[in-house]
Amino acid sequence: MSSSESRYEAISRRSMLAGTAALGAALAIPALGCGGNNDKSVFGTSTTQGGSPATTGTGPLTTASGPLFPEGGEMIVDFTFATSEAGGIKNPYIAVWIETPEGALVKTVSFWFQQTAEGKKYLSDMRKWFAATSGDTPSNSGATRLPGAYSVVWDGTNEGGQPVAQGDYVVYIEAAREDGPYQVISQPISIGTASFNDQLTPKGELTTASIAYKP
């Protein structure tokens, strides 16, 4: 997947989502601009309907060596999903996750999909995320969302809840919907003691994306 890097700019549209408090790395913050969508209604607990509870991913965990992700620091991923078609459409599946430069899974920050047995049949349509996680849905997964602008937050922990080391990582945002386009945005980042705000190149129905790191 290609990646690009430019400067951070405000997202234009926000709508407010009510909900419960967030957990762990899937903390949600208000999106920039007027109002904001947040993930509090999704990331408190798994919202999987029926069957067994969702499980955390089984990809390789990173082992921290050297200085750790700063305590109290966070990395905010903002993105906007806007459909390219009029009329009734299916809500997209959207995932945000972190990998090492070598391709090892670090953390699924958020994953929205249809929370039914039928919906799980289409997890493999999220091709990059599925390859990274073997399709194991994390406990912080949630239902699909309407098109709009959203923010999710990574707290610098891995799938095991342990802080990762400072250093180089890759952020992925992936979106797909039934009878619609598929797109992935990826961005290398370097976690250290300096903050940054980067605006990413949009792709398809992911019409804006940005990363802000606050150590």
Averaged over 124-134, what is the pLDDT? 96
DSSP 3-state of 188: strand
Averaged over 88-107, what is the pLDDT? 95
pLDDT digit string, tens, across residues 132-191: 999 998 888 999 999 999 999 999 999 999 999 999 999 999 999 988 899 999 999 999
Is pTM beyond 0.95? Reply is no
Cβ atoms of 189 and 169 closer than 8 Å: yes
pLDDT digit string, tens, across residues 2-46: 333 333 333 333 333 333 333 333 333 334 333 344 443 332 222
pLDDT band at 95 (very low <50, low <70, confident <90, very high): very high
Length of the chain (residues): 215
What percent of the chain is modeled with pLDDT above 90? 62
Nearest one of 75, 210, 49, 58 to 156, comparing CA atoms:
75
Torsion on CA atoms 156, 158, 160, 165, rounded to nearest 10: -80
Cβ atoms of 18 and 41 closer than 8 Å: yes
Torsion on CA atoms 139, 106, 145, 177, rounded to nearest 10: -110
Cα separation values, 1 from 177, 208, 211, 213, Å: 19, 17, 18, 22
pLDDT at 124 over 90: yes
**12 or 122, which is more confident?**
122
Domain ranges of the chain: 6-44+66-214
